[in-house]
Amino acid sequence: MIKKLENYDLSAHNSFRMKAVCALYVEYDSPKDLEQMPWDEFPKPLLSIGSGSNILFTGDFPGTVLHSAIKYTKYVDLGMDDLPIAVGAGVTVDDFIAEVCGHGLWGMENLSLIPGEIGASVVQNIGAYGAEMKDVVTGVSCYDVVERRMVKFPTPQCGFAYRDSLFKQSDGRYIVTGVLVRLSRKPRPNLSYKGLAESFGGVMPETPTQVREAVIALRNGKLPDPKEIGSAGSFFKNPVVTAAHFAKICEGYATVPHFVLEGGMIKVPAAWMIEQCGFKGAVQGGAAVYEKQPLVIVNASGTASAQDVLTLENRIISAVRERFGVELHPEVVHI
């Protein structure tokens, strides 16, 4: 079924809770709907959103916002060790994770409590606690708005990278309708993230639900509850620098948190740099840098304007550039 709403306020469709009106809002609940849409009549540009948990609307949107309500979970055979599962783009990521953990299936538990829907999870290649969506995805089904037909991409063709994918780069061409994941019945806890391993104190978790609960406790301790305070999670990506640049960053500090990547480049937590620049808790109009995790910008007053957020973003980028010679890039998509 296709639902259309004109001049529609998107406040309830973005976790930052920015007021933004789109010319047309279209919701659909099957790939067939997409094949039957009157694409030529829709105001342009087109923008597909999930639950809007990684978007900053910087003003009204002159085009058409599309939202998938395609919701299904299909298990091929729950008895298999290595189990393919097809899931619809409109399913809430955390509901799906709770369900598969309940079935004793490993692979997604580290991504627990990440806000958003399955479609957006592959667009953004969501990640947390040493795991990324791409680790479990085996294929993605899309509607191609240019060719006007359904297409399937096996994982090697999805262009997955850190918070990036072919779908994110496609300028709205590919609308994700469903994702195929492969999860494991054999235990395979991923405790590569130090804080998560510490939650278990050397004892191996026995079920994915145990890991899920530990992840939820970690997130609740650091990240704002989207029900209580507007934000879009991490606002910036963690930058990657050369070893020589890292040595310069370290000057004057006893230790600097970092992760050495394959090939020798070094990822430095943006949160640490933002904190060093004195931005923890910084306020700009109704927006603020979250006290417990400075990588997150929050709509502290509930009435922050996009301008407040953009001004704070630019203050942070300038300060980090000046102090560390590092250019921060937003992770949150600006519309």
CB atoms near residue 88 (< 10 Å): 24
3-state class (DSSP) for residue 44: coil
Contact yes or no for 70/29 (Cβ under 8 A): yes
Judged by CB under 6 A, which of 234, 279, 288, 320 binds ligand EPU?
234
Q: Which is nearer to ligand EPU, 234 or 284 (CB)?
A: 234
Contact yes or no for 20/9 (Cβ under 8 A): yes
3-state class (DSSP) for residue 307: helix
Size of the site for ligand EPU (CB under 6 A): 18
Judged by CB under 6 A, which of 112, 125, 293, 299 binds ligand EPU?
293
Residues 90, 68: Cα–Cα separation, whole Å: 5
Does position 133 interact with ligand EPU (CB under 6 A)? The reply is no
Q: Which is nearer to ligand EPU, 101 or 232 (CB)?
A: 232
Residues 157, 254: Cα–Cα separation, whole Å: 43
Opening angle at CA 117, ends 217 and 191, nearest 5 = 35
Residue nearest to ligand EPU (CB): 233
Contact yes or no for 65/10 (Cβ under 8 A): yes
Does position 233 interact with ligand EPU (CB under 6 A)? The reply is yes
**Closest distance between ligand EPU and the C-beta of residue 249, in Å?**
13
**Closest distance between ligand EPU and the C-beta of residue 317, in Å?**
15
**Closest distance between ligand EPU and the C-beta of residue 96, in Å?**
18
3-state secondary structure 4-26: EEEEEECHHHCCCCCCCEEEEEE
Report helix angle 208-222 to 93-102, nearest 10.
150
Judged by CB under 6 A, which of 51, 125, 177, 238 binds ligand EPU?
238
Question: Taking CB under 6 A as the criterion, which residues in 294-323 touch ligand EPU?
Answer: 294-295
3-state class (DSSP) for residue 187: coil
3-state class (DSSP) for residue 184: strand
Does position 221 interact with ligand EPU (CB under 6 A)? The reply is no
Give the active site residue among 109, 117, 313, 331.
331
Pairing of strands 3-9, 333-334: unpaired
Contact letters (x/-) for ligand EPU, 164-203, by CB under 6 A?
-----------------------------x----------
Residues 181, 329: Cα–Cα separation, whole Å: 29
Question: Taking CB under 6 A as the criterion, which residues in 253-292 touch ligand EPU?
Answer: 257, 269, 271-272, 275
**Closest distance between ligand EPU and the C-beta of residue 144, in Å?**
27
Closest CA to 316 of 230, 300, 287: 287
**Closest distance between ligand EPU and the C-beta of residue 130, in Å?**
7
Give the active site residue among 17, 163, 212, 219.
163
Catalytic-residue membership of 331: yes
Q: Which residues belong to the active site?
A: 163, 234, 331
Q: Which residues bind ligand EPU (CB under 6 A)?
A: 128-129, 193, 222-223, 233-234, 237-238, 257, 269, 271-272, 275, 293-295, 331
